[in-house]
DNA sequence: CATCAGGGCCCTG
DNA sequence: CAGGGCCCTGAT
């Protein structure tokens, strides 16, 4: 495989809207590890497919939660111009919610009996999505109907075979293939990589992306319910994958309507201190308590336990559910 | 050894 | 609307 060397570099300073929690926003400990990004405390590297090109983006935290400041480096394989740089910054701002105003969320719930402690620990955390819609959909397919270990294995083998390897700032990582490429791959070639029946999904959804000219920039301007309707039309996208895409890629934060069985167990522990509470009850509870902020609220509750785990706390019941 | 379910989804009856 | 099948793998 050919590695793209991104040797042209530019640097800009950006000031996200406070409060902005850099670490908790760029890195999500609940996500499975893969080769598409690199995280170190206060630093984050990822490839960005944008307008037909691949760029390398590096974010460095130069501020605090209350006085956020981020240095944003762009790496490319050809010289950069002002307009291009500005457009990439706008895109990264969208993906990492630099300009979202969450002050109302904090004000409203910092003394909330349930949510308060979570907000205290993760204050300024937002949703993020380093991927474009197509990339995140690929992740969604890797997640379907399997355990995390196998998801990781499938992702890595597919990236090594079909991904675009990029190198910048002395880091190497993979960017997902383009749908135009994947739609032409014979199903048998994918089956060899042990992705099972997902082989068909990768090819079919790629064809859909190309033929229907699915454009996430158009979707972003539509109301949530419209986006959801469009996403569910894609073969292989059901309620859970749509939820992932809506929350992460489209930054939808007001509607909480679906929990997968795995999440159901974890929310049952965290919110009800019980082994298994009916999914419907969990959904109602979260939506009722935190209304137009329900998704963001659930995100705080969700990520918190994984941060504790990352920071070395042993949580027996959680380990059983993760099974890495 | 066999059987089963897993961070779903589609299709069928 | 319930239930079976799908790839593969580790757990039982």
Q: What is the pLDDT of residue A320?
A: 79
Confidence of residue A37 (pLDDT cuts 50, 70, 90): very high
Position A94 scores a pLDDT of 98
**A145 CA, B2 C1': Å apart:** 21
Percent of chain A with pLDDT over 90: 89
Distance A4 CA to C5 C1' (A): 41
Residue A275 scores a pLDDT above 90: no
CA A239 / C1′ B12 distance in Å: 20
Report d(CA A110, CA A322) in Å as an integer.
29
Burial class (CB in 10 A: 0-12, 13-18, 19+), A127: buried
- CA closest to C1' of C9 belongs to A150
Q: Model's pTM, two decimal places? A: 0.96
User: What pLDDT is stored for residue A140 in this prediction?
Assistant: 96
Residue A62 has pLDDT above 70, yes or no: yes
Nearest nucleotide to A237, CA against C1' atoms: B9
Residues contacting residue A32 through CB under 8 Å, at least 6 positions apart: A143, A148, A151, A152, A155, A324
Contacts of A51 (CB under 8 A, 6+ apart): A87
Could you tell me if A193 and A154 are in contact, meaning their C-beta atoms sit under 8 angstroms apart? yes
Please compute the mean of the pLDDT values over residues A92-108 and round it to a whole number: 97
* Residue A242, CB, strand B, below 7 Å: yes
pLDDT above 90 (res A70): yes
| The pLDDT value given to residue A260 | 87
What are the beta bridge partners of residue A49?
A54
pLDDT of residue A235: 96
Q: Which of A117, A106, A143, A132 is nearest to A19 (CA)?
A: A106
Tell me the pLDDT band of A265, cut-offs 50, 70 and 90.
Answer: confident
DSSP class of residue A291 equals G
Which pLDDT belongs to residue A110? 95
- Hey, what are A246's tokens? 């809506």
- pLDDT band per the 50, 70, 90 thresholds, residue A242: very high
β-partners of residue A43 are A40, A60
Residues 57-96, chain A: which have Cβ under 7 A from strand C?
Answer: none
- pLDDT at residue A323 above 70? no
Decide if pLDDT at A231 tops 80.
yes
Residue A215 is encoded by which pair of tokens? 């454009």
CA A213 to chain centre: 22
**Cα–Cα distance for residue pair A218/A174, rounded to 1 Å:** 26
Nucleotides in C strand less than 7 A from protein CB: 6-11
pLDDT higher for A280 or A290? A290
Taking Cα atoms as reference points, which of A262, A265, A255 lies closest to residue A286? A255
Which of left, alpha, beta for A259 (phi over 0: left; psi -120 to 50: alpha)? beta
- A324: pLDDT strictly greater than 70: no
């Amino acid at each position: 495989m050919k590695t793209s060397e991104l040797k042209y570099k530019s640097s800009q300073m950006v000031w996200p809207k406070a409060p902005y929690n850099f670490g908790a926003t760029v890195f999500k400990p609940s996500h499975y590890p893969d080769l598409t990004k690199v995280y170190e405390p206060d630093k984050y590297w990822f490839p960005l497919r944008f307008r037909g090109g691949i760029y390398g983006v590096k974010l460095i935290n130069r501020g605090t939660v209350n006085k956020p400041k981020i240095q944003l480096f762009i790496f490319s394989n050809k010289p950069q111009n002002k307009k291009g740089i500005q457009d990439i910054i706008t895109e990264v701002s969208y993906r990492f919610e630099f300009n979202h105003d969450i002050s109302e969320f904090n004000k409203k719930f910092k003394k909330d009996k349930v949510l308060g402690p979570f907000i205290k620990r993760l204050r300024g955390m937002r949703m993020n999505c380093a991927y474009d819609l197509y990339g995140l959909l690929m992740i969604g397919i890797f997640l379907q109907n399997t355990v995390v270990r196998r998801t990781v294995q499938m992702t890595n083998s597919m990236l090594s075979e079909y991904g675009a390897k990029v190198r910048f700032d002395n880091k190497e990582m993979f960017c997902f293939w383009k749908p135009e490429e994947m739609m032409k791959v014979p199903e048998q070639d994918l089956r060899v990589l042990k992705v099972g029946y997902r082989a068909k999904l990768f090819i079919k959804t790629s064809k859909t992306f190309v033929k229907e000219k699915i454009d996430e920039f158009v979707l972003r301007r539509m109301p949530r319910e419209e986006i959801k309707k469009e996403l569910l039309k894609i073969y292989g996208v059901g309620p859970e994958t749509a939820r992932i895409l809506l929350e992460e890629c489209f930054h939808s934060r007001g509607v909480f309507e679906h929990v997968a069985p795995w999440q159901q167990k974890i929310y049952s522990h965290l919110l009800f201190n019980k082994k298994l509470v009916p999914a419907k009850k969990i959904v109602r509870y979260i939506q009722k308590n935190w209304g137009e902020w329900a998704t963001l609220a659930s995100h705080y509750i969700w990520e918190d336990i994984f941060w504790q785990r990352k920071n070395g706390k042993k949580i027996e019941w959680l380990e059983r559910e993760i099974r890495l």
